Amino acid sequence: MTTKRYVLPVELTGWKTKDDTGEVHFSWDYDSGREKMLNLYDKGKRRQWDAQIRIDWSETIDIDNPLGTEDHFVPIWGSPMFDKLDAKGLGELKLHLASWQFSQFLHGEQGALICASKIVQNVPDMDSKYYAATQVMDEARHVEVYSTYLNKLGIAYPINPNLRSILDDVLNDSRWDMTYLGMQVLIEGLALAAFGMIRNMTGNKLARDLTAYVMQDEARHVAFGRNALRDYYPNLTEAERQEREEFCAEACIAMRDRFLANEVWSNLGLDTKECVQWVNESESQIAFRSLLFTRIVPILKDIGLFGKTMRDTFEKMGVLGFAEVDIDQIMDEDDQLASEIDKARVADVDKTVALGALEDL
């Protein structure tokens, strides 16, 4: 509730300027935010955490199997290339697959950090600027988390060309909604599904905990993108919506194909062509790549980008069925799970402190 009274109405003094990266909006209306945006901002402030304190980095990692997964999770499992691997080769492959996967998360998080800061600048409303500022801090923390984790693995991969190309498109578009659509909906939607699979299948406590905590933040980011775009997209013309659907269709195919892991096969001296062909055709890998779209499909439907182009693309990709997923429910479950892990952590810390106090007597 504002008690400031401007000597001129704010609508008459708005200021939009430009820098090399796009529009810069100033807002003089500091008080009249939308309730749902301000709630996200409040939640963002309350839920800040310190990665060095909340995560127990002393947890051990088996370097030959960092995620503690069964062999059938290796994408070329069952192939002649897999059968040729000895124990050392399999250990090396599992390490490289984990480091490749988490390297892409790391680079994607830096992309999110830069996009969130761009949103602070581009978005016209103060409530969204408030919220996006909390996201800038969240994304910096995620970069820190994945970078620290990769230091423990000791190997990192450069950014995948498909991910880089989507980031390039998003960052070079000066329209604010394209930043949200590319980053908050597509890149983060896909990352969330991948995080969810890792969280649920890993046998390693460190990998599970850090993934669950990052997911708790990401749920707010996706909620923000959905809220903003759901308000905005009904006002676009058919041609404007079509342009966005075409961008999404192309990006979804590129993102699916980045999971063929070309870089890992070539780096380890395996036959890249044979491995890619196997991963491309293997039934379990096709199912895995489909699951990456459990979040994106219902969100695009929810924000009103679900015309013929999008439906046909998802039909061809075999993921149209995810349109019926209850996205709010799975986001709530993500939040719940992270809270439970955190409760167990706090209880552990309390127990250790109590033991220490007894020893001091």
Which lies closer to Fe ion via its Cβ, residue 33 or residue 225?
A: 225
**HSE of 106 in the Cβ direction (CA atoms, 13 Å)?**
19
| Residue 51 touching Fe ion (CB under 5 A) | no
Q: Least distance (Å) from Fe ion to the CB of residue 92?
A: 29
| Residue 212 touching Fe ion (CB under 5 A) | no
Q: Least distance (Å) from Fe ion to the CB of residue 41?
A: 15
Indicate which single residue of 93, 112, 193, 305 sits in contact with Fe ion (rule: CB under 5 A): 112
Q: Least distance (Å) from Fe ion to the CB of residue 126?
A: 21
Q: What are the DSSP calls for 83-113, one per residue?
A: HT--HHHHHHHHHHHHHHHHHHHHHHHHHHH
Region near Fe ion per CB under 5 A, out of 13-21, 149-157, 212-220, 235-243: 212-220
Burial class (CB in 10 A: 0-12, 13-18, 19+), 20: exposed
| Residue 142 touching Fe ion (CB under 5 A) | yes
**Amino acid in the structure at residue 48:** Q
| Residue 129 touching Fe ion (CB under 5 A) | no
Which lies closer to Fe ion via its Cβ, residue 221 or residue 258?
A: 221
| Residue 226 touching Fe ion (CB under 5 A) | no
Burial class (CB in 10 A: 0-12, 13-18, 19+), 149: buried
Partner residues linked to 22 by β-bridges: 19
CB 258 within 8 A of CB 160: yes
Token pair in block for residue 152: 């423990």
| Residue 199 touching Fe ion (CB under 5 A) | no
Q: Least distance (Å) from Fe ion to the CB of residue 193?
A: 13
Indicate which single residue of 221, 226, 258, 289 sits in contact with Fe ion (rule: CB under 5 A): 221
What is the CB neighbour count within 10 angstroms for residue 78?
15
| Residue 96 touching Fe ion (CB under 5 A) | no
Q: What are the DSSP calls for 196-259, one per residue?
A: HHHHHH---HHHHHHHHHHHHHHHHHHHHHHHHHHHHGGGS-HHHHHHHHHHHHHHHHHHHHGG
Which lies closer to Fe ion via its Cβ, residue 110 or residue 174?
A: 110
Q: Least distance (Å) from Fe ion to the CB of residue 293?
A: 18
| Residue 76 touching Fe ion (CB under 5 A) | no
| Residue ranges in contact with Fe ion by CB under 5 A | 109, 112, 139, 142, 188, 218, 221
